[in-house]
Amino acid sequence: MSHATVAPGDLRPVRTADGSFTLRHERLDEHYHSVHGAVRESQHVFLRNGLHAVDLPRIDLLEIGLGTGLNALLTFLATRVHRCTVHYTALEPFPVSIDLLRSMDHCAVLGVPDARDLYEEWMMGGPGVVIPAGDGFHFRRLDQEAGSITDANAFDLIYFDAFAPEKQPGLWTEEMFQRMHKALRPGGVLVTYCAKGQVRRNMVSAGLQVERLPGPPGKREMLRARRPKEVRA
């Protein structure tokens, strides 16, 4: 496992169109979330079309790319309303520094300053430590690459939030989606903001059933994939 952090000079906070902040990775020339609205993108792609599409009382969830922790924080807040139990595992080999996280202050933007200490504990706590957050939410961060995943039948939902294919092509291959297929339980869901044709074809080749959905602000489409349910003879 890598415990390195991104060099501070590589990252810069940017206010997005909905008033929330994201980070710009200067070396990659890429943003962690959409400049058209970081919160709006997360809510549309990962909650509305991911979390709310999985109708289970307990959800085991894997995030590929914890980044600034926005998806995790929004998911935690959703459990307060919908009263489902979520066991959240997030992969992030290059943790963001606490100073940068505080400069964006997602908790203040979302109107939940009471969640700030808990959020910082998730983001800066030891890798592999399960942190119960109340309201049925449990969080675990792993400092590992997505390519090291060997889980089988372990997750009901995957937030696939890696940098774009042109920036991190190795994360969008057929082989990677075969790993995702294996990690999902039958009927499990994977959602991503990306809708590129080659990504969709790689998902299909890996055995996933894929649908195009309307995208968040600034994007025409997104993808949602499912591992087919096992058919009994």
Residues 6+ apart with CB under 8 A from 201: none
What is the average pLDDT across 166-195?
96
Sequence ranges of the domains in the chain: 8-226
Pairing of strands 21-25, 30-31: antiparallel
Pairing of strands 184-192, 155-160: parallel
What is the average pLDDT across 27-51?
95
Question: Per the structure block, which two tokens stand in for 182?
Answer: 């294996």
- pLDDT at position 231: 57
State the pLDDT confidence band at 52, using cuts at 50, 70 and 90: very high
What integer best gives the mean pLDDT of the chain?
92
Q: What is the DSSP letter of 19?
A: S
What whole-number distance in Å separates Cα of residue 202 and Cα of residue 173? 6
Pairing of strands 221-226, 184-192: antiparallel
pLDDT digits (tens, 9 = 90+) for 104-149: 999 999 999 999 999 999 999 888 999 988 778 999 999 989 999 9
From 78-82, 176-180, 186-190, the region with the lowest mean pLDDT: 78-82
- pLDDT at position 6: 53
| pTM of the model as a whole | 0.94
What whole-number distance in Å separates Cα of residue 222 and Cα of residue 75? 19
- pLDDT at position 1: 29
Domain boundaries 8-226, corresponding CATH code: 3.40.50.150
Residue 232, pLDDT > 60, answer no
The C-alpha angle with vertex 68 and arms to 10 and 143, in degrees rounded to 5, equals 85
Give CA 204 to chain center in angstroms: 21
What is the average pLDDT across 77-99?
91
What whole-number distance in Å separates Cα of residue 86 and Cα of residue 153? 16
- pLDDT at position 3: 37
- pLDDT at position 27: 87
What is the average pLDDT across 38-66?
96
- pLDDT at position 2: 34
pLDDT digits (tens, 9 = 90+) for 194-226: 999 999 999 999 999 999 999 999 999 999 999
State the pLDDT confidence band at 55, using cuts at 50, 70 and 90: confident
User: In percent, how much of the chain has pLDDT > 90?
Assistant: 83
